Amino acid sequence: MRTATGHPARSEPAVRTVDGLVTAVRAGSYGDDPAGQRVALAFTTSQAVRHAGRATGYRNEVLSLRLHAAVGSCAVEPGTLGPAALDDCVGATVAELLDHPLLPVRVAALDAYLMHVRPHTPEHGARPRALPPGSSLERSRARARAVVDLLPAAERVLVVGVVNSLLERLRARSTAYVPCDLKGGSTEWGEPVRTDALAELADCDAVLASGMTLGNGTFQSLLDHADATGKPLVMFAQTGSAVLPRFLDAGVTAVSAEPYPFFWLDGGPGVIHCYGGPR
């Protein structure tokens, strides 16, 4: 479990790598044996959006796995996940899926398992923050406020995984930032988006990163840098929302955890779960 401040309680294993977390899960350190936990449902959610008043849009695709009452998720590049992946997941055990050749399947399985044994509750260190109903842009901005509020004061923030509402919120705080995303391109304000996050780390004094870094294999390098330098690392997570809080004492400063269903799926009220960071 975790304390009310969002840091690991003594009973929770100390992990510093994703591989180490998987090893601890396999060993039963979090409770239920993953070899005895079978995924009942696998599905994908695809989204295309262009907020009113915004010049550009984007697409999302997310793989989600249902384990009992829990849903674990991992974002993928749209169109890259074949239908066979869903067939592989249904009826398989978590232990089997942790060995799947596709990284997004492994991440979604790990997330589903940890959502099952470490749900986002105050007992495990989560602080709920309500998201109001509204348009897609209104809800995006509300989430951005919640995420950026977890970031300590910084002069120059590396943003890994460009979300224009997050950049807009940083601009409102007069915080300089370096936008970075594997897709490249430009921001809503015409700023070039860098594609190599690791090359930008030395010139920034804080990092704000998407949980998608788990699914593309770049999270560990960000974690190692933050752990070695003491720079704040704040994660905003739809991918791996139950995975990333496990690293709060290993380089991660705070997590905005947003499990399925995500804020962009409807216009009603919602909630995200905050770990660490200012209260």
Does residue 10 have a pLDDT over 60? no
Among 179, 172, 112, residue whose Cα is nearest residue 141: 172
Put residue 169 in one of left, alpha, beta given phi > 0 → left and psi -120 to 50 → alpha: alpha
Q: What is the mean pLDDT of residues 109-124?
A: 97
The answer to whether 160 touches 209, Cβ cutoff 8 Å, is: yes
pLDDT digits (tens, 9 = 90+) for 153-203: 999 999 999 999 999 999 999 999 999 999 899 998 999 999 999 999 999
User: What's the pLDDT at 8?
Assistant: 47
User: What's the pLDDT at 58?
Assistant: 64
Does residue 54 have a pLDDT over 80? no
How far is the C-alpha of 101 from the C-alpha of 110, rounded, in Å? 14
How far is the C-alpha of 74 from the C-alpha of 112, rounded, in Å? 10
User: What's the pLDDT at 218?
Assistant: 96
DSSP for 84-148, please give it: HHHHHHTT-BHHHHTT-SSHHHHHHHHHHHHHHHS-SSGGGT-EEEEE----HHHHHHHHHHHHH
**Mean pLDDT of the residues in the chain:** 92
- 271 DSSP β-pair partners: 130
Alpha carbon distance, N-terminus to C-terminus of the chain: 19
User: What's the pLDDT at 164?
Assistant: 92
Q: Which residues contact 248 (CB under 8 A, 6 or more apart)?
A: 2, 6, 7, 8, 125, 254, 255, 275, 276
Q: Which residues contact 153 (CB under 8 A, 6 or more apart)?
A: none
User: What's the pLDDT at 242?
Assistant: 98
Confidence of residue 78 (pLDDT cuts 50, 70, 90): confident
User: What's the pLDDT at 62?
Assistant: 96
Does residue 79 have a pLDDT over 90? no
User: What's the pLDDT at 90?
Assistant: 96
Does residue 268 have a pLDDT over 50? yes
DSSP state of 265: G
pLDDT digits (tens, 9 = 90+) for 118-154: 999 999 999 999 999 999 899 999 999 999 999 999 9
Q: What is the pTM for the complete model shown? A: 0.92
User: What's the pLDDT at 44?
Assistant: 95
Range scoring the smallest mean pLDDT among 18-22, 45-49, 94-98, 117-121: 45-49
Does residue 2 have a pLDDT over 50? no
Among 36, 35, 37, 42, residue whose Cα is nearest residue 85: 42
pLDDT digits (tens, 9 = 90+) for 207-265: 999 999 999 999 999 999 999 999 999 999 999 999 999 999 899 999 999 999 999 89
